[in-house]
Structure 1
Amino acid sequence: MAKLEEIETEEHQKAMIISKRKRIKKKYSIIIPTYNERLNIGLVIYLVFKHLQDIDFEVVIVDDGSPDGTQDIIKQLQNVYGDDLILLRARPKKLGLGTAYYDGLKHASGDFIIIMDADLSHHPKYLPNFIRLYERTAFEDVVSSCVSKGYVFQMEMIVRASRKGYHIEEMGLQNTIKKR
């Protein structure tokens, strides 16, 4: 049985960690892989900036040589929002989603990474809720113990969360129809 002093010390340490966590300003990197997203990328970026007004973030867009002019739109967005907030990583040809994530991670400078699609299947209005979730102790406990060794990262995180006694729920995504 734990002594009262040990419990109080442990609670004090937890309170100090939470207090420190609230004082530290965190930066988020949002990685968006694109290929032929000329019709969507402007709206997605507008919505990201609209919903993250009080958050320190950058958007890293990895484009796989889109022939539809996606990179031209991204350059226009850089003129509006700044090339320090919107980073374009242009690749010469379609190299695949996995390598786009990898390239985005190499260029991200944030403390936390958010990966989302440009087709609005991940609506930016949910980003503030995800960020609040990131800042919860339970979530940080699960995420900090995961090391990605490839494609199984999400499953590994779910298993570790379950083992630590956390309840996992699925959050539905909005389906969108994209005209080509």
Structure 2
Amino acid sequence: MASRKTSHRIRENGDKYSVLLPTYNERENLPLIVWLLVKYFGESGHNYEVIIIDDGSPDGTLEVAEQLQRIYGQDRILLRPRAKKLGLGTAYIHGVKHATGNFIFIMDADLSHHPKFIPEFIQKQKEGNYDLVSGTRYRGNGGVYGWDLRRKLISRGANFLTQVLLRPNASDLTGSFRYEVLNVFCEYSNTGETVCVTSGICCFIHSRLYKKEVLENLVERCVSKGYVFQMEMIVRARQLNYSVGEVRPKFIFLNSY
């Protein structure tokens, strides 16, 4: 009975959470990530919508998304596809235009960040009325699974340099999900994989929770369109004196989008 009362109170507060899911060749992961989102939002009692932005995936991701929409309903699953792959940053910009929630989650569809941490993001935001909440691998119980020592060292070094050069006051600027390159090249000798680094900064796209008006303001100011988009947003957020909260989810490295 207590849980039902809690869910009722949550629904009454009027908050709605829009989850932006950019996809490219995610037909296998999409059903599970959507099911998990429905599960954890349903259990918490928060109002939500999932906006899938598919960039012309050749593997049939959009067809899978259409099936999921039929299963969960058009009020929960919104499809906003694009004709071709135009970049992750622009996918988020596109999704924001269609979001009806007053809070927006941006995250990957490849399960590298588990939706079970969503309630922690929401709770953290409420605790301090933060303008945005980001996950960090580098405080408390945060962590990364699936990386070798070299990747971990590069990520640590990139974050240190970023903190010194840009001083964004967030412990994990590069955040969560994707390896990105910018100006200097590093090669993994064991795999031949090339990682591009710009100004000594590696970028991983992170799951973050934003107040909608904050995200709208940031995307209008950002000039980056690819993976660097997320890193630019956190720097600009600090420049604009937005408050940033942090939680400590586990991160699983997967190759996707």
User: Fold conserved (TM > 0.5)?
Assistant: yes
2:108 to 100, 117, 121: 117
- Show the counterpart of 1:55: 46
- Show the counterpart of 1:73: 64
Specify the structure having the higher radius of gyration (Cα).
Answer: 1
- Show the counterpart of 1:7: none
- Show the counterpart of 2:81: 90
More strand by share: 2
In the alignment, structure 1 residue 38 sits paired with structure 2 residue 34: no
Query: 2:12, 2:73 → 1: CA distance?
Result: 27
Deviations 1:106-132 (A, max 9, x none): 110000110010011221000111111
Query: 1:60, 1:129 → 2: CA distance?
Result: 21
1:157 to 232, 237, 240: 237
Give the direction of change, closer, same or farther, for the CA distance of 1:55–1:67 in structure 2 (3 Å limit).
same
Query: 1:91, 1:133 → 2: CA distance?
Result: 33
C-alpha displacement of 1:134: 1.9
2:14 to 25, 49, 56: 25
C-alpha displacement of 1:46: 0.4
C-alpha displacement of 1:173: 3.7
2:118 to 101, 112, 127: 127
Query: 1:50, 1:112 → 2: CA distance?
Result: 19
Give the direction of change, closer, same or farther, for the CA distance of 1:110–1:42 in structure 2 (3 Å limit).
same
C-alpha displacement of 1:172: 4.9
Percent identity between matched residues is: 43
What is the root-mean-square deviation of aligned Cα atoms in Å?
Answer: 2.9
- Show the counterpart of 1:8: none
Residue pair 2:54, 2:80 contacting (<8 A) in 1 also = yes
**Secondary structure at the residue paired with 2:18?**
strand
Residue pair 1:29, 1:60 contacting (<8 A) in 2 also = yes
More helix by share: 1
Q: Could you tell me which runs of 5 or more consecutive residues in structure 1 were left unpaired when the two chains were aligned.
A: 1-20
Structure 1 stretch displaced more, 22-31 or 81-90: 22-31
Query: 2:132, 2:252 → 1: CA distance?
Result: 31
Q: Could you tell me which runs of 5 or more consecutive residues in structure 2 were left unpaired when the two chains were aligned.
A: 1-9, 134-209, 223-228
**Secondary structure at the residue paired with 1:46?**
helix
- State the AA in 1 paired with 2:233: F
